[in-house]
Every structure is written in structure tokens, then in C-alpha cells.
Amino acid sequence: MNVEYSNRKGNELMKLDSKIFVAGGSGLVGSAIIKNLLSKGYTNIVTNYLTRKPNLNAQSLTLNAKKLDLLDPQAVEAFFNSESPEFVFLAAAKVGGIIANNTYRADFIYENLQIQNNIIHQSYKTGVKKLMFLGSTCIYPKNAPQPMPEDCLLTDTLEYTNEPYAIAKIAGIKMCESYNLQYGTNYISVMPTNLYGPNDNFDLEKSHVLPALIRKIHLGKALERVKWDVLRATGKDENWEIIKKDLDKLPIEGVDGSASQEEILTKLDAYGIKSFNIKHSTLSIDPNSVRIEIWGSGNPRREFLWSEDMADACVYLMENRDFSDVVNSQKDHSKFLALNADTPVSKEQEGCNMDLSNNQYTNTPIHQEVRNTHINIGTGIDISIKELAYMIKDLICFNGELYFNTDKPDGTMKKLTDPSKLHALGWKHTVELHEGIEKMYAWYIGERDS
Ligand code: NDP
């Protein structure tokens, strides 16, 4: 142990002018955290990016964004020495869907371990007062009890496809716990459920289910409203323009708005936005003209949290809670060795020469197992994919059909977090799914295109 770095004291308040580093400010999570901090009046925020400069519209005027490759230990060390952040949100990571996780297994474990090792260790070396590590609920076993409590970590086998990613995230949790216990740092780990919100990924090749449904149904709505005879006669139709603009903003496999009508229709068809009767129809809205295909039966149930709610939970915990609070709130949740400062210790529990002093930082008996101190961030409410798709269809006013293709796989039938620890720590979500989807669609057709 390096004595120079020991004896860190936690329990320091985040002040409006504290230097705060949000790693990964261009991502869904990092951008939402920055937006929340700015809205609460924090003035001294620094962030980093690798490929995408953070875009927070007018708010970016006050944002200090540095290009920094977090895989590079020397660059990260130089950054911490020059910026001296007091508080850190670790929201940078290599993330992706099932196919990417399963294909790039080495990249997922290496890059995530490297990013978090660099940031957590430099935070410790430079005396960062508090750090928040962002993980994911894929840390839990494949057959975890539903809803999933924090205590089910490492109780069974992980889902194979994202095992390398999950192992890196579990290592991040253990690194935070271990630095806290050995060095007295104040690092908190949070595991958000599936998120959705502004700056989400709408790329149909890679996106998660909720943004993919929004985009497909949005395109389906425009497609069913195209006046084909007018388009053929004049070359102009406002709904066809909506489709072209959408593809210009985000091409599908290289097909953008400049492609021919046939190329565009073929590509939409390949991604499950299927049009019929185009040759004959002259109607502006034909409920039989467009069908959206959705993989699987629609029966699996999922939980979704508005990304700005998640950011609010993160900032709330950084402002109001310390690692010691989590360890203490844990007593109701965890299977501890029955070693408690107030409880007499039996000979069997003690072993021969058990040290009965307390950990100087957490005030827990030195032989008490401190595990599962991470916190789930979720709503505790799930919805079937079918119900979700119909909710989006109604909200967007798409008249066509939703077709659930049962030849395609369903995936896990239920995945839901148990947020009771978070509730006990004083935070609960406020944006319900219907309201969140309304906001997200407004962002998709408005701010995203501005
Ligand atoms: P994004 O892909 O949207 O953002 C990732 C961020 O990390 C980007 O800012 C990216 O920079 C940055 N980054 C990646 N590699 C490097 C690198 N080598 N050097 C510097 N920066 C890098 O991911 P999310 O915001 O969705 O996820 C962030 C965290 O939140 C992850 O830990 C994830 O597990 C967690 N999470 C996300 C959930 C979700 O539904 N989105 C759910 C639960 C947890 P750039 O864009 O410039 O390349």
C-alpha cells in the first residue's frame, strides 16, 4: 500500500463550484448527467469524448469538453493532474447490443476494464472526494430471481453473450468496494436498468428495442400517408420528404434520402417497415398499406427508465449519500455474517484470533463481509414488448398493423430490477413510461433534427 495515498476522507459535499468530471459526456448517460448538473446550477464541469464531441445545444457554451482516450493510462494521469477533479461520474464505457457483445468479446472486457481501472485508480491517486461508477443490470445471473435484488450478484452463471462485459462491470464494483475498504475512498456503484431518452441510439442496425420501435413506427406513419399518385405526378410529397429527411439524418446501411424510391422502400422493408398496395393506392391514409414487423412474440417483459430520471438519481446519490450509508442501508438487504458491533460474537463465528475492531472508514466490524454495496436504479415496473409497441403506435398515431414474428427469438422472458434499496436511500422515479415516450418522440422529431 502506498502510504502517501491512504487516509482519504469521504463525506464531502458537492458544491455548485466543485470541479466535477463526467467521463463519457457524449453518451446517453453522460449527457443526461451533465444536463442534470447544469440545471441544478453546477458551474465547473469537465467532460471528455473520443469520437463524438458532446452536443448539449445551448448548454454546451458552459461545457469544458476535452478529447481524451480513456484507454491510455498516461493521458488519463495527465488529465487528472491538470484538471484535479473533486467529483467523478464514470459514465464512459464500451457498450453495445447482444451481437456486438458476443462478437467483440475481447474488446468488451479489455476496454471496459482499462477505462475503469484508469479512472478509478487516478481518482484515488489524486484524492477525488467521491466517485460514481456506472454499471448495468447484466451483472446479474441469467436465471436471477425476479425482480433482481442487489444480493443476487455472483450467485449463479451469467448470460453467455455478454459475460466479458458483465465481468468487467463486476470488477468495477469490486474495485470501488475494495478501495473504499482499504483506502477509505468514497466510491458508489450504480446499476441502471434499460434507459431511453434524448441522444439515444436510433440506428436500426444497433439500437435497443424502444428507440427502434419509435423510429420504425414513425417511418411507418409517414409511409402510410404518402400520396403516391401525387408523388409520381409531381415528384413531391410531404410525407415522402419526412422519410428522406429521416434517412439523411441517419442512413440505414448507407441508404440515405438521396437514394431512389425503390432502394428506400427495399431497405425499409428489410428492417420490418413493409408497404403494400403502393401501386394501386391513391389514399392518403390506408390502414392496410403498411405493416411493422417486430421480432418475437411480444410477450417478454422489460423495464424502462427515462434517462433524465436516471441522471437525477445519480446526482441525488452523489449529493446526499456516501459509501457508508450504502453499507449501513445494506444491513436490511444483505446476508451478513452475524457480526455486528452490538451483537456478541460466538466462538464459531470468531475463529481463533478474530480481530474485533471496526473498519476505520465504514465503521463496520473488520470481519464483516461487505458485499453487494451497489445500488439498482430502476422503476420496479415492467411492460410486455407487445404492450409497449401498441403504446407507441397509439402515441405516434400510426394506423397500420403491428406484426409479431414468432419465428424470431424472444430472449429472456422477464428482466426487472428491485429498486427497494434506492427507495430506502430516498429516491424514486417520476417520469412514467407513457410520458417518457411522448417526450422522447417530441425530441426525435424536433430537437434531434434542429
Ligand atoms: P454510450 O455508448 O452512449 O456512451 C459511451 C461513452 O463512453 C461515450 O461518451 C464515448 O465517447 C465514451 N467512450 C467509450 N470509449 C472511450 C474511450 N476509449 N475513451 C474516451 N471515451 C470513451 O453509452 P451509454 O451512455 O449508454 O452508457 C454509459 C454507461 O452507462 C455504461 O457503463 C453502461 O453500462 C451504463 N448503462 C447504460 C444503459 C443504457 O440503457 N444505455 C443501461 C444501464 C447502464 P465517444 O462518444 O466520444 O466515442
Does 149 share its domain with 294?
no
Query: pTM here?
Result: 0.86
Q: Are residues 422 and 283 in the same domain?
A: no
When divided into structural domains, the chain yields a total of 2
Which of 22, 29, 52, 132 has most ligand 1 atoms within 8 Å of CB, for mutation?
Answer: 29
Ligand 1 atom closest to the CA of 50, numbered from 1: 47
Give 229 or 160, the one with higher predicted confidence: 160
2 domain-assigned:
no
The per-residue pLDDT for 371 is 93
Ligand 1 atom with the smallest distance to the CA of 92 is: 7
Between the CA of 47 and the centroid of ligand 1 the distance, in Å, is 13
Q: How confident is the model at residue 2 (pLDDT cuts 50, 70, 90)?
A: very low
- Most ligand 1 atoms within 8 A of CB, residue of 50, 131, 314 to mutate: 50
Q: Are 128 and 85 in contact (CB under 8 A)?
A: yes
Distance between the two ends of the chain, CA-based, in angstroms?
A: 53
pLDDT top residue among 61 and 254: 254
pLDDT score of 336 more than 80: no
Whether residue 313 sits in one domain with residue 268: no
Residues 313 and 350 occupy one common structural domain: yes
Question: What are 235-287's pLDDT values in tens digits?
Answer: 899 999 999 999 999 999 999 999 999 999 999 999 999 988 665 455 555 65
122 and 143 together in one domain: yes
Torsion of CA 137, 216, 161, 139, to 10 degrees: 0
Q: Model confidence over 107-163: pLDDT tens digits?
A: 999 999 999 999 999 999 999 999 999 999 999 999 999 999 999 999 999 999 899
pLDDT at residue 287, rounded to an integer? 58
How many angstroms does the Cα of residue 94 sit away from the middle of ligand 1? 6
Ligand 1 pocket, Cβ-based, cut-off 6 angstroms:
24, 26-30, 48-52, 68-71, 91-95, 115, 134-136, 192, 194-195
Rounded distance from Cα 28 to ligand 1 centre (Å) = 7
Residue 64, H or E segment: strand 64-67
Looking at ligand 1, which residue's alpha carbon is closest to its atom 31? 93
Distance from residue 301's CA to the centre of ligand 1 (Å): 25
For ligand 1, the distance from its centroid to the CA atom of residue 375, given in whole angstroms, is: 19
Exposed (0-12), middle (13-18) or buried (19+): which is 192, by Cβ within 10 Å? buried
pLDDT of the residue at 30: 94
pLDDT band at 173 (very low <50, low <70, confident <90, very high): very high
CA of 289 to the centre of ligand 1 (A): 39
Dist. CA 395–CA 438, nearest whole Å: 7
Residue 26 CA, closest ligand 1 atom number? 9
Print burial letters for 66-90: b (CB count within 10 Å at least 16), e (below 16).
Answer: eebebeeeebbeebbeeeebbbbbb
Asked if residue 55 and residue 153 are part of one domain, the reply reads yes
Please check whether residues 62 and 186 belong to one and the same domain. yes
Q: From atom 9 of ligand 1, which residue's Cα is the shortest distance away?
A: 24
96: confidence class by pLDDT, cuts 50, 70, 90: confident
Mutate to test the pocket of ligand 1, among 26, 48, 95, 170 (most ligand atoms within 8 A of CB): 95
One-letter amino acid identity for 10? G
Please report the pLDDT score of residue 204 as a whole number. Answer: 87
Residue 97, C-beta contacts closer than 8 angstroms, at least 6 positions apart: 206, 207, 208
Is the per-residue pLDDT at 213 higher than 50? Answer: yes
Residues 120 and 233 in one domain: no
1 in a structural domain = no
pLDDT in the model for residue 42: 95
Instruction: Tell me the best of 28, 148, 162, 307 to mutate to test the pocket of ligand 1, counting ligand atoms within 8 Å of each CB and taking the most.
Output: 28
Q: Which atom of ligand 1 is closest in space to residue 137's alpha carbon?
A: 43
Question: Using CA atoms, how far apart are residues 223 and 232, in angstroms rounded to an integer?
Answer: 14
Assess whether 391 and 295 both reside in one domain: yes
Helix boundaries (H) for 58-104: 73-83, 98-103
Question: Residues near 8 by Cβ (< 8 Å), separated by ≥ 6?
Answer: 124, 127, 183, 184, 185, 186
CATH code: domain of residue 65 = 3.40.50.720
Residue whose CA is at the smallest distance from ligand 1 atom 26: 28
Q: Separation of 118 CA from ligand 1 center, angstroms? A: 15
Q: Identify the domain containing residue 242 by its residue range.
A: 209-301+383-412+440-449
Output the CA torsion sign for 108, 112, 113, 118: positive
**How confident is residue 341, by pLDDT bands cut at 50, 70 and 90?**
very low
Which residue's CA is minimally distant from atom 28 of ligand 1?
Answer: 91
Q: For residue 68, which atom of ligand 1 is closest to its CA?
A: 20
Average pLDDT of the segment spanning 429-437: 97
Of the candidates 208, 223, 234, the one whose C-alpha atom is nearest the C-alpha of residue 305 is 208
Catalytic (active-site) positions: 165
| DSSP-derived 3-state class of residue 240 | helix
81 φ/ψ sector (left φ>0, alpha ψ -120 to 50, else beta): alpha
Residues 268 and 193 in one domain: no
- 126 with 244, same domain: the answer is no
Confidence band of 369 (pLDDT split at 50, 70, 90):
confident
Q: Is residue 399 part of a domain?
A: yes
Q: Give the confidence band of 232 by pLDDT, cuts at 50, 70, 90.
A: confident
Cα 84 to Cα 336: distance, rounded to the nearest angstrom: 37
Does the bond joining 344 to the residue before it have cis omega, within 30 degrees of 0? no
* Same domain flag for 273 and 293: yes
